Amino acid sequence: MTILQLSFFARATCTLSQCIRECIVNTSPKFYLGKFVKYRHYATAVRLKVDSQNVVSSGFPNVSGFDNIYLHDFVWENVEKWSNRTALICAVTGKSYTYGQLRKACSNLASNLRKHNFLPGDTIAMILPNIPEFALLVLAAHEAGLCTILINPGCMIYELKRQLKEEEIRAIFTFPAKYSDVKASREKNSNIPIILVNDRNVNNNFIFEADYLDNFMCNETEDFSVNEKTVVNYDDTVILPYSSGTTGTPKGVELSHRTIVSCMRQMMIPELFPGRETTEHHQEILPLILPLYHCYGLIVSLYCYLRMGAKLVCLPQFSQEKFMKLLEDYQCTIMYVVPPIIQMMVYNKQITSRHVGSLRNVTSGAAPLGEEIIERFRSYCPKDMIFVQGYGATELSSVAAIGASDGSPTSCGYLIPNTQMRIVSVQEDTLGKNLGPNETGEIYIRGPQVMKGYYKNPMATANTMDGDWYKTGDLGYYAEDGQLYLKGRLKEMIKVKGYQVAPAELEEVIRGYDKIQDVAVIGVPDNKYGEIPKAFIVPKAEAKIDENELKKFVAERLAKYKHLGHVQIIESIPKSMSGKILRRKLQYL
């Protein structure tokens, strides 16, 4: 049974109560809501199916075509149509590639990687900002059959050591400014080559002991022959982004060709995907402001829009001034953001309608936005600009739900095709029970976009999976029209500017400070960043804690978004009988 495809002004002949009555009297094992209802002042289509066990399925027809195609082939499927159009341009340096140039460079690099004995199944690490060469390298690695670990370039040596500890890494690709940190982090194997990704003599900063990507690009080769084509399984891991999952320190998330292509197919349906394919008279312009080492930026912004032939403008390092200049210079049509960017745009009086006048669609993700700030943002955007929110996770290849133009902008939208959801009770008296509409519980997701698992961490995988259901750790509910709303997080993660910060990771670092007896970290609300970490410290006997000194200690070891915002000295950390920190009690101290 498929959803009724009706326009925004379709015949809204039924009321919400009529829809509910129809569902109540329906005695079949499954019921389907496929009419329009008025909800929160928006005329919305009801897009969900719910069975007798309260398992919710997307109301959109299932999609196919993701079982037997490699990720890079899917991205390049129609590249000949727009080979002369700009694919990538750096907003800072102006360096650019057309689609024809980028496709040829990727094929050439893939072949040269093979000639340098990078074999199918080998693993490389990428520690790069948003530069055009990020796309070139990662797509060439896919084509060569390599698995790519994606690491935040803001990571400090302490974090890099943990993420680079696997001895089978064949090479680390990074940029000159990060060279010394990366070199110091090769704790177990100092023989892992470091390959710098930029022109050799940029700012006369040539590092003689390092290798350069130029050396892999200088000899042009023919495209892979049929016999030379990389033979890997569609279920082989193609990228390893890092996520903290529901608890604990960051873990590598195994995403395969199949899981990523399926997610792209699922989200790129006309009802949910705002991008239009490039034609002679139209090309979408998209700012690459979300980090490409994160699935949201990589899959949703880069891969999907390269497939559409869009012009992608790279911003290597985000700042308000550079972002404003990018918007003014390139007149973007589509934009993907996280809440702090929207908040910055709302409160920065220098940003005016001339910066956003060409925007046709803005999608926000990573954390929910409220109605007030959405309306303030929309007030200086074009009247026909569509603002939606989405919901997903790295473990879901980035997406589970996306808002539609006829939905409520405060929701996280509708389940994408081929996706199922359960809202599971977390209350003791109904623990584990599947809940119905408007009942809040933990969100479970099932679909072809779910990760293979956490790399070399079967225990963490088992803890976050219920069979083939991914337990998100987020609390939410779905309304009768099928839209998903978030209510908070069951998990302990702190979200700073849309980034996940694991309390356990901060606590591990702080315990290394010699004056600390015990510590617990929680997230506290912050107007600028959404949340910031707060540490509750139990000092050693007679030790005096200097707050600024402790903050500096953490700052020297962790990326900026993980830095402490507050420190509070207490006598003891509240814990359960099993020794688990009772973080909710800390919120009231």
SS3 494: strand
174 Cβ neighbours under 8 A, 6+ residues apart: 126, 127, 128, 153, 182, 194, 195, 196, 197
Give residue limits of the domains in the chain.
44-69+260-491, 98-233, 493-587
User: Is a pLDDT exceeding 50 seen at residue 7?
Assistant: no
Q: Compute, in degrees rounded to 10, the torsion defined by CA atoms 74, 76, 78, 81.
A: 170
Among residues 514, 558, 497, 507, which one has the least CA distance to residue 536? 507
| Within this chain, domains 44-69+260-491 and 493-587 share the same CATH topology | no
Range from 59-63, 382-386, 552-556, 581-585 carrying the lowest mean pLDDT: 581-585
Query: Which residue is it, tokens 């589509």?
Result: 334
Here the tokens at position 448 are 């072809």
CA angle 297, 443, 373 (to 5 degrees): 55
SS3 566: strand
508 pLDDT tier (thresholds 50, 70, 90): confident
Q: What is the mean pLDDT of residues 481-491?
A: 84
Pick from 15-29, 156-170, 534-548: least confident: 15-29
What is the mean predicted confidence (pLDDT) over 205-228?
65
Shortest CA distance to 123 belongs to which of 142, 103, 107, 106? 142
- Tokens 């982090």 correspond to what residue? 185
Residue of higher predicted confidence among 5 and 279: 279
In angstroms, the CA 439 to CA 477 distance is 6
Query: What is the tens place of the pLDDT at every residue in 307-361?
Result: 999 999 999 999 899 999 999 999 999 999 988 888 889 888 888 888 999 999 9
State yes or no: pLDDT of 1 exceeds 60.
Answer: no
Spatial contact of 503 and 520, defined as CB atoms under 8 Å apart = yes
Across 405-413, average pLDDT: 90
The three state secondary structure string of 449-489 is CCCCEECCCHHHHHHHEECCEEEEEEEEEECCCCCEEEEEE
Q: Which of 131, 542, 53 is nearest to 315 (CA)?
A: 131
pLDDT at 27 over 70: no
- Eight-state DSSP code of residue 62: P
Confidence tier at 132 by pLDDT (50, 70, 90) = very high
Reported confidence tier of residue 142, pLDDT bands at 50, 70, 90: very high
CA distance 417 to 414: 9
Q: Is the pLDDT of residue 8 over 50?
A: no
Is domain 493-587 classified as CATH 3.30.300.30?
yes
The residues, any chain, with a CB within 8 Å of residue 5's CB and separated by 6 or more, are 271
**CATH architecture group of domain 98-233:** 3-Layer(aba) Sandwich (3.40)
pLDDT digits (tens, 9 = 90+) for 165-213: 766 899 999 999 999 999 998 866 778 899 999 754 455 566 667 788 8
pLDDT band at 12 (very low <50, low <70, confident <90, very high): very low
Q: What is the pLDDT of residues 433-446, one digit of tens each?
A: 999 999 999 999 99
Residue 41 has a pLDDT of 40
Average pLDDT, stretch 53-79? Answer: 94
- Contact yes or no for 60/417 (Cβ under 8 A): yes
pLDDT-based confidence at 30, cuts 50/70/90?
A: very low
Identify whether the C-beta of residue 73 lies closer than 8 Å to the C-beta of residue 229: no
Query: For a pLDDT cut of 70, what percent of the chain falls above it?
Result: 86
Q: Which CATH architecture has domain 44-69+260-491?
A: 3-Layer(aba) Sandwich (3.40)
Q: What is the mean pLDDT of residues 152-158?
A: 90
Decide: 359 and 209 in contact? Cβ < 8 Å. Answer: no
Asked whether the predicted pLDDT for residue 91 surpasses 90, the reply is: yes
Q: Which residue has the higher pLDDT, 326 or 227?
A: 326
pLDDT tens for 564-581 read: 999 999 999 988 655 678
